[in-house]
Homo-oligomer: A and B are copies of this chain.
Amino acid sequence: MGRAYNFSSGPAVLPAEVLYEAQKFLVDFKGTGVSVMETPHRGKVYGAIREEAAALVKELAGLDDGWSVAFIPGGASMQFAMLPLNFLREGVGADYVCCGTWGGKAFKQAQIAGDANIAADTRKASPAYAPSPAEIRWNPDAAYVHITTNETISGCRMPEIPDPPSPLVADMSSDILSCPRDYSKFSLFYAGAQKNLGPAGAAVVAFRDSFAETCSAAIPEILSYRTYASGRPLYNTPPVWTVYIILLTLRWLKAQGLENVFARNRSKAAKLYAAVDSSGFWRGVARKDCRSLSNVAFRLPSEELEDLFVKQAEAAGMVGLKGHRSAGGIRASIYNAFPEAGVDRLVEFMKEFERRNG
């Protein structure tokens, strides 16, 4: 086949323009005689890549000079570990809002490392939903409060970002820079790159320097946010290629125009949810007011039909539609780089499938 329509939840589809550019320069990066994979991390080529990528994140998220942007190895799961190691200490815990699997995983890692409290928990709700600010019980002494803005597995997003009394920290892996958001409400936010920002291998982490300054000094340097503050020299060898592809993706995002990308994301999601709501054959997983713009999760009348749907869709050039192994069902991840034509094709396929099997 040619390029498939890739609905995978992450690693996920990258803009075709990014892939073609990466391919063109893979062996010899713009006449330097070496690949980006072979270029020294303290040299000019990588220095320029890193600087531009960090500046673009700041520009696109509207962050001021009090913020640092770092590309930290390990994805969101490494952030689940770093957050409690940096900020929890004897007598000081953190609040976690858990509205799905990922919030629960973040909470579990904080429990291992220190004192973590559940401020709200809707993990067992069906249909899936995220708590409204009124349902959350904050601990006023928390070192930070952690939310997950979009739960990738259930396709459930927080429709309203709360205003807690403590520094607000968010896992935005599946919706960073994909919808309008006031990023200045946060003290730290992060995203595994492999959904909206590039390939797997790093988390994009933005934090207020004043917040990072409150972290513990008693942890190894590579795990400390201080190590990644603006103006610090690189501590370790970063994932050079990953950051390069993140840069190309951010350039693509800027060239598209954020507002255009947001509008396209709304349109893609609206088309898919309209198909899901069009008959009783389909059932959306998330409550309507919490429906994700990134991950559209739905069920069919039986698991057999779901398996058939995934198989036939794949044969028709649409891959990655199988729901997470813990949840089953169908999940269409339609991040920034996912083309609207692929959504149109899926909607068409859903109609055909219902006609044949409904």
Q: Which residues of A contact B (CB under 8 A)?
A: 1-4, 6, 8-14, 16, 19-20, 22-23, 26-28, 31-35, 37-43, 73-78, 80-81, 84-85, 109, 112-113, 192, 194, 198-202, 218-223, 235-242, 245, 317, 319-320, 325
Contact = CB atoms under 8 A, between A and B. Distances in A.
Contacts of A112: 218-221
For A34, A38, A235, A236, the residue with the greatest tally of chain B CB atoms inside 10 Å of its CB is A38
A41 B11 contact: yes
A192 B76 CA distance: 21
Contacts of A236: 74-78
B34 A4 contact: yes
Contact of A2 (B33, B35, B223): B33
B4 A33 contact: yes
A contact patch SS: loop
A33 B237 contact: no
Contacts of A33: 1-4, 6, 317, 319
Given A34-B319, A38-B12, A73-B201, A237 B4 contact: no
Nearest to A13: B38
A189 to B, nearest CB: 18
B113 A194 contact: no
8 contacts: A11-B41, A14-B38, A19-B26, A34-B319, A37-B198, A42-B325, A85-B220, A201-B202
A74 B242 contact: no
A37 B11 contact: yes
B237 A194 contact: yes
A269 to B, nearest CB: 20
A74 B234 CA distance: 13
A200 B41 contact: yes
Nearest to A39: B11
A10 B74 CA distance: 19
B1 A31 contact: yes
Nearest to A227: B77
A24 to B, nearest CB: 9
A3 B20 contact: no
Contacts of A235: 77
Contacts of A10: 40, 237
A44 to B, nearest CB: 11
A220 to B, nearest CB: 3
Contacts of A75: 73, 236-237
Contact of A201 (B9, B240, B320): B240
B9 A34 contact: no
B237 A11 contact: yes
Report, nearest first, the 5 A-B pairs whose CB atoms are least far apart: A4-B33, A81-B220, A201-B239, A77-B236, A37-B199
A222 B42 contact: no
Contacts of A11: 37-41, 237, 240
Contact of A6 (B34, B73, B113, B242): B34
For A22, A35, A320, the residue with the greatest tally of chain B CB atoms inside 10 Å of its CB is A35
A333 to B, nearest CB: 10
For A16, A26, A73, the residue with the greatest tally of chain B CB atoms inside 10 Å of its CB is A73
Contacts of A9: 40
